[in-house]
A = this chain, B = another copy of it.
């Protein structure tokens, strides 16, 4: 079997302990079974990693993979995928980013980057088609993301295709929810990959390249492309809504369905006046400068914004909600400035917001004494302290040193772990699970902990799903619906394309484009099988890392403190959690303990680490 088109066939392996750089061949069997992106990265990570390792030790492995569609003009085909063991959760970290860095990385002639070991001194990696080198980076250490990016691009002046991926001070300081940034404001956000690179003393990766992606069967590819373009233009969300409002338009929509969290998920009520100045409409009418787009993307959901003299991107819906109402804050400018600072310092805005919300609840309840707050009045709604808190977290100053450990370790530190709104240690996104069983189950079963994307993007399923829409509280339909949506996400992440295309279409156009590029038959059935295979492999890693069914759950708050949803008092009871979980296992063909069965593994051709 030969390697199909769409790949360069080369893996760049860097060992930061030894300083070794080598190129190995990408085995054709791997792309047949794992496609690219998330699938390929998970497979290579699984074979290379030790599930028992210290995520911040040199034995942690980071795998960054691209996809066969990258380098074509397929809509939104610009995304890279990073897999690692998460220092925040102790389970698999799996993070996906837009931008253009992954595109240019692929154009240097590699499909995958594997990073092992740790350097004693700060380093960076410089990759071109001619050479891949580890370079000293002491002069960059301490610089923020924007500064680092600007410096590295100016050093490589004259080459327009240069792109920088890097960490900020948060990653250097091993903040457990530090992000890896690229193109300045695009993030591999969740699970703390910035801390993993920080522990390896890897500050940045600069890429410059010009190699093309070849398409074996242009007509087949074109037929899928035309279908995708047609459908993107046919559906209001992809045609217009995301360009007009970005993701911030969700604030109003999510509030209407009683799902927008308030004050560390204690409530879901917000007054009209509060939201009027804190949502997408206000963003559009006040701070928006222009929309922007990632590579090859016609959707253009990026928000380029300005507050006073300061410019930046965002905030996105999650940031707007979690640093906003979930902290009791309804001040768009304060949230935007805190968001800018998160991007510059290299922090995941979502875990940051929910961790601050947890601190505020601990403070409000008198559990964090005023003295411990270093003079900051940590009460809900105090928008004036947001930016300062972000700084203290990134630089681990005072109480910020504890917040830098994430919400779960923070709450445990103060002996109230029940106030941490996390699943598997990952902070919950801005959709209250009491308002939808699919949302709840997505958080419970996301391999990375409470991630709205890896968990199945339930919000699109329940509320913008069109034909896929199902009742919000269906015990019957939720497990299969979430399995299906998670599989769609696995396919999207493995193709290097964006979740938002799912508003317009599912896998069919991608099947044709992927088949056209590679000349191999990636039928929709085969893509589904690939999704099942990746899901099983992620689960195997997590089981080996110690996950049990008891970890596939929700914080007790959601089972014991009712919220009014659509006029009814709602919790996600322990009984509902138990049934959703076991039915989800069944839908995945996992056993009652959440283990992929031998029959399933055999069907998927997974044979342990040497698979």
State the A residues within 8 Å of B (CB). 220, 223, 226-227, 230, 234, 466-467, 469, 471, 474, 476-477, 479-480, 505, 508, 512, 521, 523-525, 527-529, 583, 586-587, 589
Give the residue name and chain of the B residue nearest to A469 (CB): B525
Ordered by A's residue number, 14 sampled pairs between the chains whose C-beta atoms are within 8 Å are A223-B227, A230-B512, A234-B523, A466-B524, A467-B523, A467-B525, A467-B528, A467-B529, A469-B525, A476-B476, A476-B479, A476-B480, A476-B583, A477-B586
CA distance A521 to B234 in the complex (A): 9
- A198 to chain B minimum Cβ distance, whole angstroms, is 41
Smallest beta-carbon distance A386→chain B, Å: 40
Task: Across the interface, name the chain B residue whose C-beta is closest to A475.
Answer: B586
Contact residue among B230, B467, B528, B587 (Cβ-Cβ distance under 8 Å from A223): B230
Q: How many copies does the complex hold?
A: 2
Once the chains bind, are B234 and A471 in contact (CB under 8 Å)? no
Q: A466-B524, A480-B477, A524-B466 are in contact. Are A589 and B471 (CB under 8 A)?
A: yes
Q: How far is the CA of A227 from the CA of B469 in the complex (A)?
A: 25
A476 surroundings in chain B (CB, below 8 A): 476, 479-480, 583, 586-587
Bound-state Cα–Cα, A583 to B226, Å: 39
- A466 and B524 CA atoms in complex are apart in Å by 8
Q: In the complex the two chains form, what is the Cα distance from A494 to B491 in whole Å?
A: 32
Which of chain B's residues has its CB closest to A226's CB?
Answer: B223
Residues of B contacting A474 in the complex (Cβ-Cβ under 8 angstroms)? 586
**In the complex, how many angstroms separate the beta carbon of A494 from the nearest chain B beta carbon?**
15
Interface core residue of A467, A474, A476, A587 (most chain B CB under 10 Å): A467
Kindly report which residue of chain B lies nearest to residue A471, judged by CB atoms: B589
Q: Is the CB of B528 within 8 A of A587?
A: no
Shortest C-beta distance, A530 to chain B (Å), equals: 11
A469, A524, A583: most-surrounded residue (chain B CB, <10 A): A524
A360 to chain B, nearest CB (A): 40
A502 to B469: give the CA distance in the assembly, Å.
22
Q: A227-B227, A476-B583 are in contact. List 19 more A-B contacts (CB 8 A).
A: A223-B226, A223-B227, A230-B512, A234-B521, A234-B523, A466-B524, A467-B524, A467-B525, A467-B527, A467-B528, A469-B525, A476-B479, A476-B480, A476-B586, A476-B587, A477-B587, A480-B480, A505-B508, A508-B508
Residues of B within 8 A of A505 (CB): 508
Q: Tell me, rounded to whole Å, the shortest Cβ–Cβ distance linking A59 to chain B.
A: 38
Q: Which chain B residues lie closer than 8 Å to A227 at the CB level?
A: 223, 227
* A582 and chain B: residue at smallest CB distance: B476
Contacts of A523 in B (CB 8 A): 234, 466-467
List B contacts of A529 (CB < 8 A): 467
User: A523–B480 Cα gap in the complex (Å)?
Assistant: 23
For A480, the chain B residues whose CB sits under 8 A away are: 476-477, 480
B-side contacts of A583, CB under 8 Å: 476
Neighbouring B residues of A467 by C-beta, 8 Å: 523-525, 527-529
CB–CB B466/A525 < 8 A: yes
Question: CA separation between A529 and B469, bound complex, in Å?
Answer: 11
